């Protein structure tokens, strides 16, 4: 197993750090003194990373230094924007988070402490989320006189529903890790200090999957789920045929038939 820092193909700000474990890249938010609040420089660095992934990376984990995953956008950078600049800023966040959600490889967010505002929007753009027990979720936009602008009004209701998101924004309610998992904000809950290890374990497992299947899950599955049934069934048939027609799939199926493949009960 190879572990260590890797050189990103593009320059990244000091608020981001990249390491690699075999086929898994770990992108770490490295601004703990600000609870990893997202500056424009950081957000644009995230975009550069995901649009220029290092070679042979099959899965990405988004982690964070310090006690908190991300306390949201850096409000200090927001105060002077007028309406047009606000629209452009929001659309920039949309573009960046789309690069995560619509990118070529699965992404896991390793959550802890504050997952608030824009931090929750960032987490929602990942495909899987592991939450340590210290995790809490909040959308304090109502208290600040603002509205979500990083895609949260699209992605978060898909996870927990419109009414629960409205409750978070209107009342300042917080969900803890267990509540969040029950509602769909994460798929896993880990003990404090163990979240990143679990995320890396899952990422290593995902990285061993066939590329075509991982790609179908993150690219085709959401579109199929949102389509009407007639179109969904057709897209499913086409994606199934594309996946099973690859040489990789044929080799994997033959290994299973020959008794050389790992069984589900082995995990």
Cα separation values, 34 from 15, 38, 232, Å:
10, 9, 44
State the CB neighbour count (10 A cutoff) for residue 91.
11
16-21 β-sheet, strand order: 3-5, 16-21, 24-29, 59-64, 107-111, 128-132, 188-190
What percentage of the chain's residues is helix, strand, coil (to nearest 5)? Answer: 50, 15, 35
In whole angstroms, what separates CA 171 from the centre of its chain? 26
DSSP string, 247-266: HHHHHHHHHHHTT-SPPGGG
Residue 156 has phi, psi (to 5 degrees) of -65, -40
Catalytic residue among 41, 121, 201, 231: 121
User: Among this protein's residues, is 33 annotated catalytic?
Assistant: no
Catalytic residue among 132, 141, 179, 226: 141
Cβ contacts of 120 within 8 Å, gap of 6 or more: 72, 137, 138, 139, 152, 156, 185
User: Among this protein's residues, is 47 annotated catalytic?
Assistant: no
Would you say 135 and 110 are in contact if contact means Cβ atoms under 8 Å apart?
no
In whole angstroms, what separates CA 216 from the centre of its chain? 16
DSSP string, 38-95: B-HHHHHHHHHHHHSPPTT--EEEEEESTT-SB--B-GGGTTT--HHHHHHHHHHHHH
Q: Active-site residues: which are they? A: 121, 141
């Amino acid at each position: 197993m190879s572990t260590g820092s890797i050189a990103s193909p593009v320059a990244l700000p000091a608020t981001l750090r990249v390491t690699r474990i075999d086929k898994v890249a770990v992108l770490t938010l490295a601004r703990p003194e600000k609870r990893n609040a997202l500056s424009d420089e950081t957000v644009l660095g995230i975009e550069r990373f995901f649009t220029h992934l290092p070679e042979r990376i099959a899965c990405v984990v988004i982690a964070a230094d310090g006690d908190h995953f991300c306390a949201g956008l850096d409000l200090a950078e927001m105060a002077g924007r007028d309406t047009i600049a606000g629209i452009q800023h929001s659309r920039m966040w949309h573009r960046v988070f789309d690069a995560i959600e619509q990118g070529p490889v699965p992404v896991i967010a390793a959550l802890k402490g504050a997952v608030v505002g824009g931090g929750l929007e960032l987490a929602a753009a990942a495909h899987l989320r592991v939450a340590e027990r210290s995790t809490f979720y909040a959308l304090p936009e109502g208290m600040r006189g603002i509205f979500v602008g990083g895609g949260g009004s699209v992605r978060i209701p898909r996870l927990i529903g419109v009414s629960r998101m409205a409750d978070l924004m209107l009342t300042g309610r917080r969900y803890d890790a267990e509540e969040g998992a029950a509602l769909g904000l994460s798929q896993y809950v880990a003990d404090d200090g163990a979240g990143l290890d679990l995320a890396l374990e899952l990422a290593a497992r995902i990285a061993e999957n066939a590329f075509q299947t991982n790609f179908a899950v993150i690219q085709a599955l959401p579109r199929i789920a949102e389509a009407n049934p007639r179109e969904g069934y057709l897209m499913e048939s086409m994606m199934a045929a594309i996946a099973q027609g690859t040489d990789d799939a044929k080799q994997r199926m033959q290994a299973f038939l020959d008794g050389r493949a790992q069984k589900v009960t082995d995990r």
